[in-house]
Each structure stands twice: as structure tokens, then as C-alpha cells.
Amino acid sequence: MAANPRVIALALATAIAVPAEGLRQKWYADPVGLPTVCFGHTGPDIVNTKTYSLDECKALLNKDMLHAINIVDNCVPGLPPQMLAAFGDAVFNAGPTIACNQSKSTAARYLAARDYRAACNELPRWDKARLAGVLVALPGLTKRREAEKQLCLSGL
């Protein structure tokens, strides 16, 4: 029996996310100011006075990453697990536009057209964040998007 592509993608994507995000068990503001805990979890459920256990952080990461992978799989069904993982991590980190919004993302247009190599090669373009109103490349995002690109291309 073959493994579920989403399960494979979850393992591959978390392998990128964990070193990229790092582990912070107390609340902090990410580079754009979003309240964040653990391995990059954001959301209204964060308790700013709490110290999260490692098990809680792992559970949040698995839940968040699986949600991102499901978003990609729903808007672009049938991707190879490596591509699903690469775009899943990108969605986890940057939101669904990168993979699903064809009007705002060249990568999404390439995915929809099944031009997978071109889609993978678009990932490095998503290494910027708006800081003080200016869009700037962040070294950590540049490194992360390159890792996603390499994983993505390995699935071709």
C-alpha cells in the first residue's frame, strides 16, 4: 500500500520549516510583527503569558502544516509529494497566494498550467517581507525558498 502523498509532504515540509522557523516556546513578534510561538505558529489562540511545551509546539506545527498542505492539494490536486511539500511550506510561511491565486502569483499560474519546473523556479521570488512599509528580501526567507525550490525540483 502506497503512503498518502499528504503524509509524505507533511514530513518533508516540516523538515524545511523546523530549522527555518526555530523553536520559541514563548510569544514573540515575527519580522513583520505578527504574534508567533513555537515553530512559526500565528493566530488568535496564542497566549502571550504561556510557555508552550515541546509536544504542544509539535502539535501546532503538524496542524498548521497539514492545513497548508491541504490548501495546496485542494487548489492544485495531484502534485508529487515533494512539490506538495515545497508549496505547502511556502503557504505555511507566506499564505495561500503563492500557490493558489493566479491573478497575483506567477507560481500559481504555472502550477495551474502544470508547468511544474517553472512553478518551482518561482519560489525564490517570494523571499521578501514588508518592513516599515518597504518590501525587502530577508536572508532567512531567501535560504528557505531555495530549500523549497530544490525539494520541489526533486519531485519532477
Can you tell me which residue has the cell 528557505? 144
pLDDT digits (tens, 9 = 90+) for 138-147: 999 999 999 9
Contact 71, 48 (CB under 8 A): no
pLDDT at 31: 84
- Catalytic residues, by residue number, are 21, 30
Question: What 3-state DSSP class applies to 39?
Answer: coil
CA–CA dist 88, 109 (Å, integer): 16
Enumerate domains of the chain plus CATH numbers. 5-154 (1.10.530.40)
* pLDDT of the residue at 2: 64
pLDDT in tens, 88-134: 999 999 999 999 999 999 999 999 999 999 999 999 999 998 888 99
**Distance, CA of 127 to CA of 69 (rounded, Å):** 19
Decide: helix, strand or coil at residue 156.
Answer: coil
Q: What is the pTM of this model?
A: 0.95
